[in-house]
A and B are shown apart, each in its own frame.
Chain A
Amino acid sequence: MNILIAGVNKSYGDFVALDNINVSLPTGQLTALLGPSGGGKSTLLRIIAGLESADSGSVEIEGIDATKLPPQKRNVGFVFQHYAVFKHMTVAKNVAFGLEIRKRPKAEVKTKVAELLELVHLSQFAHRLPSQLSGGQRQRLALARALAVEPNVLLLDEPFGALDAKVRKELRDWLRRLHDEVHVTTVFVTHDQEEALEVADEIVVINEGRIEQVGTPDQLYDEPANDFVMGFLGEVTRLGPFRLRPHDIELSTTPGAPGVLSGVIERSLRVGFEVRLAVDVEGQGEPALVVLSRTHARALDLEVGTRVWLRPTAGATSVPVLEVASA
């Protein structure tokens, strides 16, 4: 019981949007499709919803072959980046839309709508028009409308992409909590790795129409399958023959164990609680980026021009630098 995608291909003219995608998205989980813009993740989501059709391959939702089903018959809820609310209907009417189409009894519709508006904290706005709501409220309305038809799968296409940073973060936490309450199989598309790491149970990294890696946030962060996944999930720098995260570099002001590389601090930048150093390492073209806490940096008395010695911390995630990948 899940979403099963097998051998899906999709091209727009010469552009290959999806290249032989095979993936199984587990039931009841919150899965993120993560990747850069134009990587094909939205196309995959729209194919699951039936809003696009695959050139080849099949889509199975909860054991039913949905490849040829129109969107109306798939019983999926879809939430769009730009809300796509019905502007001429009140908030309550928007939520009731799917139920009215299904010809549910009036009383039942009313109860269900009230329930959902409660769930998304919009009860007091039931008789407003969408134009009287903020962006975050509109997106919650869109979510309630999608949930009203009790979909097998809830699909969200960059749901927080059009919102400002603060609201985005609030809604993200709220979506996580909502999912823990409602437990509907949910797939959402995002290009924001922080959003995916924070909200998702499982992440599918998609780039240039192909799946790079599938795994839990921890797996992806700690054991990236390749350079791309490593680079996309967080900041990456180079130290000698490895690529690793800037906070996984140990810095000392005295030469120590074998294997350390020496360098000179080229730039220093303080951002809030952390200090970011660019270190010109001997025998390396690009400077290594090191991130320390403010207190640590102060204790070591670091400034531009100080000679330092660097090495990866024990257990650091690193991947070897490919010879072609020189900056």
Chain B
Amino acid sequence: MTQTLVASPPPARPAGRGPGRAGRPGRRGRGSAANGGLFRLTPTSGLGLGVALVWFSVLVMLPLAAVIGAAAEGGWASFWGTLTDAQTFAALRLTVVEAFLVTVVNAFVGTVVAWVLVRDHFWGKRVLDVVIDIPFALPTIVAGLVLLSLWGPDSPVGVNIVNTREGIFLALLFVTLPFVVRTVQPVLIELDADVEEAAASLGASRFTTFRRVILPSLVPAIAAGSSLGFARAISEFGSLVLISGNTPYQTEVASLKILKFLEGDNQAGAAAVAVLLLLVAVVTIVALDLISRRVARRG
């Protein structure tokens, strides 16, 4: 791996816009590898790269390859057949649609919560700042239990969400709440107040300043938090075990479908669903990254 990296020809200048002055590559984005000289590795950095790649391969790449292998075992027809099976397809569609909706809500509400935590001063702010992390810290099965105790069959407020799509939506919102908040918060703290003052003195209203100056700075963080939240939402299992009720065509989600396949000793079917989820996650992350870069650049 190191060998190929060393041998590869120095790539062209990063796709920075405008004429970059020679010897001074654009500092924006992923341009850090612009210089051919950067590929010459010292012994220590070579070792570091080796460790990182081995670690990454053993933990991530090999298992991923294995699951793709397992999915391919039965051949294309079996793979396709599993995914287009009405019940599986319903589960996949429900998962992706719910995750998408949850992500949209989070992108909006998470930004508002982060804004309030950074910009406003109120009694109990520090407590709220800690409480935000609870959905992170709780084992998800406990999260399910928590929701169940308020919105379950013995609900003290008389609302039972078990075995409903609203229940799934709520559980996903609960477990993904902190992602956008926690990615946007530090960026918001770092924003210079004088940039907003500059916009104001140039005649921009509060709203215009937010839309044209603040939001473009936040979009990359919102996108990063959203993609983490989305990935978490399509893979959520623990809290949904208790909430979703797992009714085929109604409230069955992909992760529970995988469990069902495994219980029915259908390894290939489980792997097929897993691969599709993987694909959706990758596509979403890449798409959000592209969107955020475009928006952040255009302003």
Interface residues of A (CB under 8 A from B): 49-51, 70-72, 74-78, 80, 82, 84-90, 93, 97-98, 101-102, 127-129, 131-132, 142, 145-146, 148-149
Contact = CB atoms under 8 A, between A and B. Distances in A.
A44 to B, nearest CB: 16
B205 interface: yes
Interface stretch (B76-84, B144-152, B190-198, B234-242): B190-198
A87 B203 contact: no
28 contacts: A51-B197, A51-B200, A72-B203, A72-B204, A74-B201, A77-B201, A82-B192, A84-B192, A84-B195, A86-B212, A86-B213, A86-B299, A88-B217, A88-B296, A88-B297, A88-B299, A97-B202, A97-B204, A98-B203, A127-B18, A129-B28, A132-B18, A132-B27, A132-B28, A145-B202, A146-B201, A148-B202, A149-B203
A89 B208 CA distance: 15
B215 to A, nearest CB: 10
A87 B18 contact: no
Interface in B173-226: 192, 194-195, 197-205, 208, 212-213, 216-217
Interface residues of B, number: 27
B143 to A, nearest CB: 37
Given A82-B194, A84-B198, A101 B26 contact: no
B17 A78 contact: no
B20 interface: yes
Specify which of B26, B27, B204, B296 lies most central, judged by the most chain A CB atoms within 10 Å of its CB. B204
Contact of B203 (A102, A127, A128, A129): A102
A119 to B, nearest CB: 17
A131 B192 CA distance: 15
A97 B198 CA distance: 10
Given A51-B200, A86-B195, 9 more contacts: A51-B197, A75-B203, A88-B296, A88-B297, A97-B202, A101-B204, A132-B24, A146-B201, A149-B203
A127 B17 contact: yes
Interface of B: 17-18, 20, 24, 26-28, 192, 194-195, 197-205, 208, 212-213, 216-217, 296-297, 299
A72 B200 contact: yes
B200 to A, nearest CB: 4
Nearest to A132: B26
A93 B194 contact: no
A76 to B, nearest CB: 6
B253 to A, nearest CB: 38
A142 B192 CA distance: 15
Given A89-B299, A93-B299, A132-B20, A70 B202 contact: no
